[in-house]
């Protein structure tokens, strides 16, 4: 979020960072991107179909009444996207995967050598009301195309990852649990 700017910059202090790559352009994932890129003088990278939102367009709304309210909130400060990512691109040894649904240009990052998957919000490992860990599909109020997102989840399950890193919730060191959760989703 925009309000996390200071915390993120202090966590990055002393680290060498050469680029800032998003999983998707939702306010809770790129709210501080402008500040981070300016401060560290690094380029912003983002999935091709989310780049217009990172650059200031309104995002596609989710489902239901809450989505309408959310769409009225002021958007984060935009920032130019220097590199538009697509399926198969390399980002620091990770392969970019197109996984649309939660947003049109959502991407995941996959490193086959140790089967690590950065899945963003294709699944959550957190229940928002209780703040307890647990796998679930992303909330419909933030997801413009839930069926498409479910297809994207199935694509990720086929990878059989060992370690999965989420946008929301702790890392999951149990690929079997990830795969069986997705396989049990309704058709």
Chain residues binding Zn ion by CB under 5 A are 28, 121, 167
Nearer to Zn ion, 93 or 128 (CB): 128
CB nearer Zn ion, residue 57 or residue 115: 57
Smallest separation (angstroms) from Zn ion to the CB of 43: 22
Rounded CA separation 135/126 (Å): 6
User: Closest separation between CB of residue 4 and Zn ion, Å?
Assistant: 13
* Residue 121 or 137 with smaller CB distance to Zn ion: 121
Q: How far is the CB of 187 from Zn ion (least distance, A)?
A: 26
Residue in 92, 95, 91, 101 with CA at minimum distance from that of residue 49: 101
CA distances from 109 to 14, 37, 112, 177, 178 (A): 25, 20, 10, 19, 16
The contacts of residue 72 (CB under 8 Å, 6+ apart) are: none
Question: Which is nearer to Zn ion, 62 or 167 (by Cβ)?
Answer: 167
Q: CB 165 → Zn ion: shortest distance, Å? A: 13
Token pair of 54, please? 């990172």
Contact assessment for residue 99 and residue 161, using Cβ atoms and an 8 Å cutoff:
no
């Amino acid at each position: 979020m925009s309000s996390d700017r200071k915390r993120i910059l202090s966590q990055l202090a002393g680290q060498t960072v050469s680029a800032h790559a998003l999983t998707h352009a939702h306010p809770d994932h790129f709210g501080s991107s402008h500040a981070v890129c300016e401060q560290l003088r690094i380029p912003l990278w983002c999935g091709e179909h989310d780049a217009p939102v990172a650059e200031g367009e309104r995002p596609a709304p989710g489902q239901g009444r809450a989505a309408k309210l959310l769409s009225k909130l002021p958007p984060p400060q935009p920032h130019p996207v220097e590199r538009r990512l697509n399926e198969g691109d390399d980002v620091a040894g990770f392969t970019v995967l197109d996984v649309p649904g939660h947003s049109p240009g959502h991407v995941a990052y996959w490193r086959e050598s140790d089967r690590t998957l950065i899945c963003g919000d294709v699944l959550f490992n957190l229940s928002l009301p209780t703040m307890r860990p647990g796998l679930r599909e992303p909330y419909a109020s933030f997801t413009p195309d839930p069926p498409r997102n479910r297809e994207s989840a199935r694509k990720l399950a086929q990878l059989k990852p060992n370690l999965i890193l989420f946008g929301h919730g702790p890392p999951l060191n149990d690929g079997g649990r990830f795969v069986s959760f997705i396989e049990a989703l309704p058709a």
